[in-house]
């Protein structure tokens, strides 16, 4: 994403629109942290523009949609509303959310709240920090397994 240390929602949305101009049932989006919030805004726009648009699934790691005091996320990411119903419909409910009980950047309660709001499958790891390389996440086998499950669910019409 452009300027990851100085994120701006509008620039990140432009980037997503350039990188993913067309959505279809073979599109699976995997996000992390602020990228998840950006993707929720992106999907809200796409699904509101075309209510028939669909993607195969959505996997959010350390996702959130509300800001808590002390979080450093820029304010523009919290402006405008997320259309959770459109996202659930546009993913056919094929949504998985992953959190860490000791996430030091995104409070776990915010990821819990997102999972409930999206009615997604939910996995909470005990001690995974913010799922960064410094937390030991150079590889993430669970993520691959969960993505495989999303693809299989969609292919079997569940």
Q: What percent of the chain has pLDDT over 90?
A: 75
What 3-state DSSP class applies to 86? helix
Rounded to two decimals, what is the model's pTM?
A: 0.93
The tokens 């620039």 sit on which residue? 11
The CATH homologous superfamily of the domain defined by 26-155: Alpha/Beta hydrolase fold, catalytic domain (3.40.50.1820)
Residues 6+ apart with CB under 8 A from 40: 63, 65, 82, 87
Specify the pLDDT at position 157.
60
**pLDDT at position 109:** 95
pLDDT digits (tens, 9 = 90+) for 104-143: 999 999 999 999 999 999 999 999 999 999 999 998 999 9
State how far the Cα of 15 lies from the Cα of 35, in Å rounded to an integer.
11
Confirm if 137 and 131 have CB atoms less than 8 A apart.
yes
Strand residue runs (E) in the chain: 28-32, 57-61, 95-100, 121-125
Compute how many other C-beta atoms are within 10 angstroms of the C-beta atom of residue 129. Answer: 17
SS3 content of the chain, % helix, strand, coil (to 5): 40, 15, 45
Residue 156 scores a pLDDT above 80: no
Q: How confident is the model at residue 72 (pLDDT cuts 50, 70, 90)?
A: confident
CA dist 18 to 12, 64, 74, 104, Å? 10, 24, 22, 32
> What is the rounded average pLDDT for all residues in the chain?
91
Number of H helices, E strands in the chain: 5, 4
What's residue 70's pLDDT? Answer: 77
Residue 151 pLDDT > 90:
no
């Amino acid at each position: 994403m452009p300027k990851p240390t100085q994120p701006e929602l509008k620039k990140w949305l432009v980037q997503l629109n350039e990188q993913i101009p067309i959505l279809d049932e073979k599109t699976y989006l995997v996000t992390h942290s602020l990228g998840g919030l950006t993707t929720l805004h992106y999907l809200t726009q796409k699904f509101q523009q075309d209510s028939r648009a669909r993607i195969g699934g959505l996997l959010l790691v350390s996702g959130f949609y509300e800001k808590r005091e002390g979080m450093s996320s820029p304010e523009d990411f919290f402006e405008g509303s997320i259309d959770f119903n459109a996202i659930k419909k546009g993913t056919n409910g094929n949504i998985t959310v992953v959190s860490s009980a000791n996430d030091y950047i995104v409070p776990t309660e915010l990821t819990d709240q997102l999972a409930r709001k999206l009615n997604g499958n939910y996995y909470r790891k005990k001690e995974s920090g913010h799922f960064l390389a410094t937390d030991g996440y150079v590889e993430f086998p669970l993520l691959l397994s969960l993505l495989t499950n999303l693809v299989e669910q969609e292919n079997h019409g569940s």
